[in-house]
Amino acid sequence: MGTIKACIFDLDGVVVDTAKYHYLAWKRLANELGFDFTHQDNERLKGVSRIDSLNILLEIGGQSFTPEEKLAFAEKKNNWYTQYIDKMTPDEVLPGVLDFFEQLKAAGIKMALGSASKNAGYILQKTNLTHWFDVIVDGTKTSKAKPDPEVFLLGAKGLNISPSECVVFEDAEAGVEAAINAGMFCVGIGSPAILGKANRVIPDLFEMNLKKLDF
């Protein structure tokens, strides 16, 4: 591809590992409803919105509730989840992230966040990452969930950079599809078996640097 002018980062699974806190909070809800929720089940929730995650969880437990009851469960889970976020520190930024961010800043490459999470602003604040981003698009600003490209297109628009000049870093299958649907180059973070639709797959941002960005 041509010159890259911007990098757009997913949050959970790319910059920080909040999936473990989502897991603990969803598991607590499942247990309260009388069924188990495994790590394998949790894989299905990565990159998926809060309410869609709840629907998957209830499907796993074989239970159904009214929309009002579901909203109350989602809120309950979020309260438990944010109690974990309250305790987060800058030490929880994943390996290689800050080095790569520094390189991007020095090279004048713009940076945006493209996350499904409504808690993204709070997580960035707790981990001291807010200042790195020129634009922050999170679950409070989008109306369509990944794999819809909305979150990443809003990021490019906010940066005033064409989608074809953006690279997205994503750990979830739905997120990779969203990036490709946005017409962006996508680097998958994690396993090639799950992220096969990405243009490239690496295990973590520790494996990324400015030179490798020359796709």
Residue 186: contacted member of Mg ion, ligand B16, none (CB under 5 to 8 Å, by partner type):
none
List b or e across 69-91, with b for residues whose CB sees 16 or more CB atoms inside 10 angstroms.
Answer: eeeebbeebbebbeeebeebeee
Closest C-alpha to 183, from 206, 211, 203, 155? 155
Report the nearest approach of ligand B16 to the CB of residue 116 (Å): 3
Q: Of 137, 172, 189, 202, which lies in the binding site for Mg ion, with binding defined by CB under 5 A? A: 172
| Nearer Cβ to Mg ion (158/175) | 175
* Strand order through the sheet with 166-170: 135-137, 110-114, 6-9, 166-170, 185-189, 200-202
| Nearer Cβ to ligand B16 (50/110) | 50
| Nearer Cβ to ligand B16 (119/127) | 119
**Contact yes or no for 89/18 (Cβ under 8 A):** no
Q: Known catalytic residue: 10?
A: yes
Q: Of 6, 10, 27, 77, which lies in the binding site for Mg ion, with binding defined by CB under 5 A? A: 10
Residue 42: contacted member of Mg ion, ligand B16, none (CB under 5 to 8 Å, by partner type):
none
Q: Alpha-carbon torsion 208, 12, 116, 55, what sign?
A: positive
Report the nearest approach of ligand B16 to the CB of residue 12 (Å): 3
Q: Of 47, 149, 163, 190, which lies in the binding site for Mg ion, with binding defined by CB under 5 A? A: 47
Task: Report the C-alpha gap between 63 and 75 in whole angstroms.
Answer: 18
Q: Known catalytic residue: 12?
A: yes
**Contact yes or no for 174/10 (Cβ under 8 A):** no
Report the nearest approach of ligand B16 to the CB of residue 36 (Å): 19
Do you find a cis peptide bond into 147, omega within 30 degrees of 0? yes
Report the nearest approach of ligand B16 to the CB of residue 2 (Å): 27
Query: Would you tell me which residues interact with ligand B16 (CB under 6 A)?
Result: 10-13, 22, 45-50, 53, 78, 115-119, 139, 172
Closest C-alpha to 189, from 2, 66, 74, 19? 19
* Catalytic machinery residues: 10, 12
- The residue ranges that bind Mg ion (CB under 5 A) are 10, 12-13, 47, 171-172
